[in-house]
Amino acid sequence: MTVLDHRHHTAVPGWLPGATAPRADPAPLLPDVSPVRVLGTPALEKHDPALLRELYRRLVVGRRYNQQATTLTKQGRLAVYPASTGQEACQVAAALALGEQDWLFPSYRDTLAVVSRGVDPLEALTLLRGNAHTGYDPRAARTAPLCTPLATQAPHAVGLAHAARLSGEPVVALAMLGDGGTSEGDFHEALNFAAVLQAPVVFLVQNNGYAISVPLTAQSAAPSLAHKAVGYGMPGRLVDGNDAPAVHSVLAEAVERARTGGGPTLVEALTYRIEAHTNADDATRYRTEGEVTAWREHDPILLMDRALRELGILDDALVQEAADEAEALAARMRAEFHADAELDPMALFAHVFAEPTPQLREQAAQLSAELAAEAEVQH
């Protein structure tokens, strides 16, 4: 018997069905290696003009949000800000593809998706400002906290979607990740669980080319990250991440598929991080200016502006309206973050357990005494 005979076990007489029987439904076809594009194609004309205008408006406001947050970081007003500049199409399309009852599970770079979901832009920044971990109510916003460890929020999305399905609610969970996150074990475990449970969950990988400084070629040898879906038994879709209507339509289709019992989907959006990883990063060490310039020419706002004008659904009035809204938001951010936040140190002990342990009560008393002594000295 050759080695090959072992591999083709269906040809070996006496193999036991049940133990290794192939799935009744064949695995989906391999994802197309050319990404889905809508802008600049006839498909754009089929899109709802109101949705296209809304995507445009959110892209412009989102870009300004990214720029202002980055400036606030340079001024020391935010502890850190991982900008999604250049990736705004993924952010706003993700939020718009979800219904109000659905849940978003963002990574640390997805503040803009959180804002686009309706969370107050300043509350969404508390983690990165450094005054509180999560400034919004995740349950009210149907948005999990920004997740700093890589890919660990993906199984949470699966669990929530699974629980929702058991309860009969038509709720879908969307987990957002970066390309680096696809190397983590939690990513793979989440995909496997999602497929086995047929959970109504969508995974959106924003492949921006780099995991801090490590390029995709050193991250994965797969033909595309979307191909990773196949081994788990779910569809993988590849989309131009700078093409907002394309991202929206692919995500909307995946969300609909999940909502109607079709199970999970993995979407890879090809995009680019124009800014450095964070303010602590020097992107010139690992990528060329030429590369950045090329991607600037494939900017999501630029592409959208050009295509919508050609279609005759973008006029100067809307451009001005979006620009005004963006400036108003930036002004609000500057005003709000002009002064240091007023914080109550006793809040440190507020939410460790439902009831503080005796040990925490003692430590709270200690801090309280320290604060009283400090106040005494200042008088």
Partner 1 sequence: MAQALNSALRDAMREDPTVHVLGEDVGALGGVFRITDGLTAEFGPDRCLDTPLAEAGILGTAIGMAMYGLRPVVEMQFDAFAYPALEQLFSHVAKMRNRTAGKLPLPITVRIPYGGGIGGVEHHSDASEAYYTSTPGLHVVTPATVADAYGLLRASIASDDPVVFLEPKRLYWGKAEFDPAAPVEPIGRAVLRRTGTSAVLITYGPSLPVCLEAAEAAKAEGWDLAVLDLRTLVPFDDETVCRVVRSVGRAVVVHEASGFGGTGAEIAARVTERCFHHLAAPVVRVTGFDIPYPPPMLEHHHLPGVDRILDAVARLQWED
Q: Which residues are near partner 1 by CB under 8 A? A: 132-134, 137-140, 144-145, 149, 152, 154-164, 166-167, 171, 173, 185-186, 189-190, 192-193, 196-197, 350-354, 357-359
What are the angstrom distances between the C-alpha of 267 and each of 13, 108, 133, 172, 227? 40, 19, 28, 15, 10
Indicate which residue of 286, 287, 332, 334 is catalytic: 286
If the CB atoms of residues 133 and 306 are measured against partner 1, the closer one turns out to be 133
277 is catalytic: yes
If the CB atoms of residues 351 and 379 are measured against partner 1, the closer one turns out to be 351
351 is catalytic: no
If the CB atoms of residues 180 and 209 are measured against partner 1, the closer one turns out to be 180
If the CB atoms of residues 36 and 173 are measured against partner 1, the closer one turns out to be 173
Task: Report, in Å, the least distance between residue 318 CB and partner 1.
Answer: 37
* Beta-bridge partners for 181: none
If the CB atoms of residues 194 and 330 are measured against partner 1, the closer one turns out to be 194
Task: Report, in Å, the least distance between residue 249 CB and partner 1.
Answer: 27
* Beta-bridge partners for 265: 202
DSSP state of 107: B
Indicate which residue of 53, 57, 162, 277 is catalytic: 277
Task: Report, in Å, the least distance between residue 128 CB and partner 1.
Answer: 14
Three-state SS sequence of 111-166 = HHHHHHCCCCCCHHHHHHHCCCCCCCCHHHHCECCCECCCCCHHHHHHHHHHHHHH
Name the token pair of 315: 């006029």
Instruction: From 277, 312, 274, 281, select the one nearest 53 (Cα to Cα).
Output: 312
Residue 202 DSSP SS3: strand
Task: Report, in Å, the least distance between residue 118 CB and partner 1.
Answer: 16
Residue 210 DSSP SS3: strand
139 is catalytic: no
User: Strand locations in the chain, DSSP E?
Assistant: 103-105, 173-178, 201-207, 210-211, 214-215, 236-240, 265-270
Task: Report, in Å, the least distance between residue 126 CB and partner 1.
Answer: 10
Residues with a known catalytic role: 273, 277, 286
